[in-house]
Amino acid sequence: MNGDRQPQTRPINQRLKGDLPLTDAASAAAQIDSDATVLTSGFGSVGYPKRIPLALAESDRELSLTVVSSGNVGDEIDVSLVESGAIDRRFTYQSSAAARAATNRREIAFSDRNASSIGDDIQYGGLVDPDVAIVEAIAVGEDWFVPSTSIGQVPAFVEATDELLVEVNHRQPLEVQSLHDVYRPDAPPSRGPIPLTEPGDRIGTSAIGFDPEKLVGVVEADRADDTYSFREPTDDDLAIADNLGDFLAAELERSPAFEDEVHFQFGVGSLGNALMGELRSLEFGDRDVAYFGELIQDGLFDMLDAGELECASATALALTDEGQDRLFADVERYARDVVLRPTDVSNHPGLIDRFGVIGVNSAIEFDIYGNVNSTHVGGTRMINGVGGSGDFNRNALLTICALPSTHDDGEISRVIPMAFHVDHTEHDIDVFVTEQGVADVRGCSPIERAERIVDRCAHPSFETRLRDYLDDVRDQSAHIPHDIRRAAEWRD
């Protein structure tokens, strides 16, 4: 399995190389048209440009920007720049309180796409006509740069843009380069197969090349990522992890697909981090275990350190400060097993299928028939973008939706009669897990799914009300019986 996994030996040990258009953040920001379409690096709240967005936020120009990132970016963009009123239009993922509020007031026109496709959407799909890309790098030359702690859809963005601004961040260690595997699939409609045959393979480079004519400014920065902080696992988190563990143990026994190898993906967040950490307690026997996901969280490092995880592939490091310190202290050792890829590879539908991934993702809520809402509370108010959850929920071999059965201190059920915003359809999810139990709904008709979900996943304080709903609609002659007005009462 290790054949293609040696990190490339082309170390770059100079942050700035060649004849570069060095400038300061304010001057770089001043070059950007007031109504420009700006593509930025950044995914999992790391590896995004910091100083130029801040300079834009602090300028006294009237701005009406379109800002496109492929994943979550930090406060410099989704708080400061948002609060300065500079952003009119925003793609694709966002989740800050400020961006959420502006989006729900519809002051920001937010358009949400799956993380795997936003690169193609920009480069080929006519989604926007980009003017400038601002990317964070750890090093830059006249026609290349090395991305920092995330890759995202930056290779596509760099190909699509007219102009390029690079922020070289001295705070990000140069050794991060050894994690990267930059490979951009060919242009459609005649793409070759992506030649990745194992989750940890390397098929690309550590740098992203570009047409040197595009480079209009290089700004130096020294500013940390806006890293994650995870709460300690709650009792619910631990109960969910236990239930998930029991289910997975039985499934590993049952399925011939997992006889020799198991490939996981976990959604980001405190629960996802706790679940990743709990993986260690599973009995994998002789199986090779690998991670082929979107984000690497702290929870995986213990397994990597213990040699229990063959490799971890993702598009960004969604780490705490402590996790970043742990990685940065020994990045070249970790780079033997940790690979960062562009999102159109990390989240590629065909690769998720190829590696038979077991995907474990959270959501806001799910309904009794198995439809999942992961973006809009009550069907109307945006909480966050869909990110890569659709890529994994649709294409994983085994798709698990894991979340607590309630929120707001038990006041509100996350198991509801009808989801009024559907991000993942009844055709997608195989298994639902809450702290109450596991509903394996594979092969179930809608009404069987409903019975199983209410029985095994709902919180006892909502179970009776859900069962009453189900019993009362059951006399309808309908495949998926519903009383929509009554279902709507659950969101009041």
Considering only residues 440-459, where is the footprint of a second copy by CB under 8 A?
Answer: 442-445, 447-448
Bridge partners for 140 per DSSP: 16, 145
Q: How far is CA 452 from CA 61, 264, 367, in A?
A: 57, 25, 12
Output the smallest distance, CB 239 to a second copy, in A: 24
Q: Give the contact letters, 385-424, x = binds to a second copy (CB under 8 A), - = no.
A: -x---x---xx-xx-------------------x-xxxxx
Output the smallest distance, CB 353 to a second copy, in A: 6
Q: Judged by CB, which is closer to a second copy: 176, or 368?
A: 368
Residues annotated catalytic, as ranges: 294
Specify the amino acid at residue 397: L
Pairing between β-strand 431-434 and β-strand 415-416 as defined by DSSP bridges: unpaired
Kindly indicate which of the ranges 204-212, 214-222, 254-262, 315-323 contains the residues binding a second copy, using the contact rule CB under 8 A.
Answer: 254-262
Query: Looking at 199-279, which runs of residues are DSSP E strands?
Result: 208-209, 215-221, 261-266
Q: Judged by CB, which is closer to a second copy: 210, or 264?
A: 264
Q: In Å, how far from its chain's centre is CA 62?
A: 32
Considering only residues 327-356, where is the footprint of a second copy by CB under 8 A?
Answer: 348-351, 353-356
Considering only residues 171-210, where is the footprint of a second copy by CB under 8 A?
Answer: 185, 187-198
Considering only residues 89-118, where is the footprint of a second copy by CB under 8 A?
Answer: 89, 91, 103-106, 109-114
Q: Which residue intervals of 135-256 are DSSP H helices? A: 154-160, 235-254
Q: Which of 17, 124, 242, 249 binds a second copy (CB under 8 A)?
A: 124
Residues binding a second copy: what is the number (CB under 8 A)?
89
CA 158, CA 214: separation in Å to the nearest integer? 9
Output the smallest distance, CB 222 to a second copy, in A: 35
Kindly indicate which of the ranges 266-274, 329-337, 404-412, 479-487 contains the residues binding a second copy, using the contact rule CB under 8 A.
Answer: 479-487
3-state secondary structure labels for all residues of 379-448: CCEECCCCCCHHHHHHHCCEEEEECCCEECCCCEECEECCCCCCCECCCCCCEEEECCEEEECCCCCHHH
Kindly indicate which of the ranges 169-177, 217-225, 319-327, 438-446 contains the residues binding a second copy, using the contact rule CB under 8 A.
Answer: 438-446
Q: Judged by CB, which is closer to a second copy: 46, or 102?
A: 102
Half-sphere exposure of 130 (CA within 13 A, CB side): 31
Q: Judged by CB, which is closer to a second copy: 15, or 491?
A: 491
Q: What are phi and psi of 79, to 5 degrees?
A: -120, -65
Considering only residues 22-51, where is the footprint of a second copy by CB under 8 A?
Answer: none
482 binds a second copy (CB under 8 A): yes
